[in-house]
Amino acid sequence: MRTAVVLVTGVAPDAMAAAQLSLLWDLPDAVAVRHHIDLDRGVLERVVSDLTGVVEHVEVELEHACVSCALREDVLPTLDRLARDGRWRSVVAQLPVGAEADQVCGVLARDPRLARRLRLAAVVTALPDATLVDDLLGDETLAERGLATSHDDERGVGEVACSMVEFADVVVTTGAVGTPTGPELLRALARPDVPVVRGADLLAGSDLVARPPHQHSRSRAWASHVRELPLPVPGSADVWTLELVSDRPFHPERLLDGLESLALGRHRTRGCFWLPTRPGRALLWEGAGGQLSIGDGEPWGDRVPRTQLAFTGTGEPPLHLATAFEGLLVPRAAFGRGIGWHQAEDGFEPWLGPVRDVA
C-alpha cells in the first residue's frame, strides 16, 4: 500500500502549523514533517513528529539556501524515507513558508520510483482568516515579513499566496475570523471544485486521503498563465473579476511606459501576452497588490497567440483597466499590416532574455 501524502503550503507559519496539527490528529497512523529555511545560517531545519512526540530534529547545511535546493536535497528524499520506514500510513508535509507545491507535485507525478511508494492525496493551502484580503491583495513582500526563501527573493506576499490558492486542492483559513469578503475572494481565485474550509478544526484529513488523489495536470491547467478555462463568477458583490483578451500583442515601448496602469492596485492579475519582437513565445504575467512579475513562458506551438489578462479584486472595480489595456496593444491598423518587427532589443531583456534567443 502506498503512503498518502498531504502537502501544506502557505505564507503564514501559524496558519500552516494549525492546518498540519489538525490533519495529524484526524489521520490514523500519520507522521508530520516540517521544513524551515534559515537564511541567515544557511541551513534547512527538518522536524519529524507523530502523536507520540518528536521523532527527529535535524539541521542540514544547504549549499544554496533556497526552496529548490531544499525540495531537491531534503523534502522529497524525506518523504520517500518516511514511506519506506513502514510505521505510518500517511505523511503531512509542511513545506517551507513561501514554497509552492508545484515542484514537489511535478516530481511525484513523473518519478515512477517515488510513485511506487507515495500517493499525493492533496495540496492544502492554509492562510489566516483575519488578514485574508491583505495577504492576497496587499503590497508587502515576503522579505518585509521576514519570510523570504532566498537572499534575492523579491516576491510579493499576495503574488505567492494567490498562486498557492489557485494550485490547491483544499484551502483552509485559520485563527480569528475576519470579514466575509476574504473567503469570497478565495472562492473567486480557487478552482471551482476546491473546498474553502473556514477553521482548521473542520479540516478532515481522513476525507482527503479517501478521495481521488491530487491530479497534477488539473491543478496546472487551472493555475496556467495561458488560461483555457473560464473564470468563475464571484458569489459576492464585494468581489469582482475582469478578463481582457486580444489577438494583438502589447507594443514593447508602450508596455514599458505603461506597466503600472495595469499592475498597480489591490487586485490579483494573471495571464499571458506576446510581443511582436518575440512572436513565438507565450510570455507570463503575474502579480498582486501592485507587485508584478513577467517572464518567458512557453512556445505558442499550434495555438493562436493572444494577450489575455484576468483581474480579481474587492470593492469597486477600477474603471481604467479596459482602456489602459487597449492603449498598450499594438494599434489595430498597424497589426492589420502584419507584424514584422526585427529589432536587436526591445527593452525587456532583463526579464525575458535577449531577443535573438527567441526570434
The domain boundary, picked from 162, 192, 223, lies at 223
In the chain, alpha helices (H): 13-26, 67-70, 76-85, 102-110, 112-115, 132-137, 157-167, 181-189, 205-210, 216-223, 252-263, 321-328, 332-336, 349-352
CATH number for the domain that contains residue 61 = 3.40.50.300
Please report the pLDDT score of residue 234 as a whole number. 85
For residues 195 and 316, membership in a common domain is answered with no
Tell whether 232 is covered by a domain.
no
Please report the pLDDT score of residue 275 as a whole number. 94
Indicate the helix (H) or strand (E) that contains 65: none
Phi/psi at 188 (nearest 5 deg)? -75, -25
Per-residue pLDDT of the chain (359 residues; tens, 9 = 90+): 899 999 999 999 999 999 999 999 999 899 999 999 888 888 889 999 998 999 999 998 876 556 777 777 788 999 999 999 999 999 999 999 999 999 899 998 899 999 899 999 999 999 999 999 999 999 999 999 999 888 888 999 999 999 999 999 999 999 999 999 999 999 999 999 999 999 999 999 888 988 888 999 999 999 999 988 888 888 888 999 999 999 999 999 999 999 999 999 999 999 999 999 999 999 999 999 999 999 999 999 999 999 999 999 999 999 999 999 999 999 988 776 555 677 778 889 999 999 865 44
The domain boundary, picked from 172, 189, 223, lies at 223
For residues 208 and 133, membership in a common domain is answered with yes
Rounded to two decimals, the pTM is 0.94
For residues 120 and 83, membership in a common domain is answered with yes
Place of cell 524525506: 78
**Which DSSP state fits 143?**
G
State which residues form the domain around 283: 239-357
For residues 260 and 212, membership in a common domain is answered with no
For residues 204 and 302, membership in a common domain is answered with no
Tell whether 92 is covered by a domain.
yes
User: What are the CA-CA distances from residue 345 to residues 29, 63, 334, 342, 355 (Å)?
Assistant: 58, 35, 20, 9, 6
Tell whether 230 is covered by a domain.
no
CATH number for the domain that contains residue 346 = 3.30.1220.10
| DSSP conformation letters of 164-214 | HHHH-SEEEEESS---THHHHHHHHHS-TT--EEESGGG--HHHHHHSPPP
Are 15 and 22 spatial neighbours (Cβ–Cβ below 8 Å)? Answer: no
For residues 141 and 208, membership in a common domain is answered with yes
For residues 347 and 308, membership in a common domain is answered with yes
For residues 89 and 187, membership in a common domain is answered with yes
Q: Mapping DSSP to helix (H, G, I), strand (E, B) and coil, where does residue 30 land?
A: strand
For residues 86 and 10, membership in a common domain is answered with yes
Question: What is the three-state SS of 221-238?
Answer: HHHCCCCCCCCCCCCCCC
Number of domains in the chain: 2
d(CA 243, CA 231): 8
For residues 23 and 136, membership in a common domain is answered with yes
Tell whether 231 is covered by a domain.
no
For residues 204 and 247, membership in a common domain is answered with no
Please report the pLDDT score of residue 340 as a whole number. 61
In this structure, what C-alpha cell is assigned to residue 105?
507535485
d(CA 98, CA 61): 19
The domain boundary, picked from 162, 193, 223, lies at 223
Please report the pLDDT score of residue 338 as a whole number. 55
For residues 308 and 172, membership in a common domain is answered with no
Please report the pLDDT score of residue 357 as a whole number. 53
- 267 forms beta bridges with 313
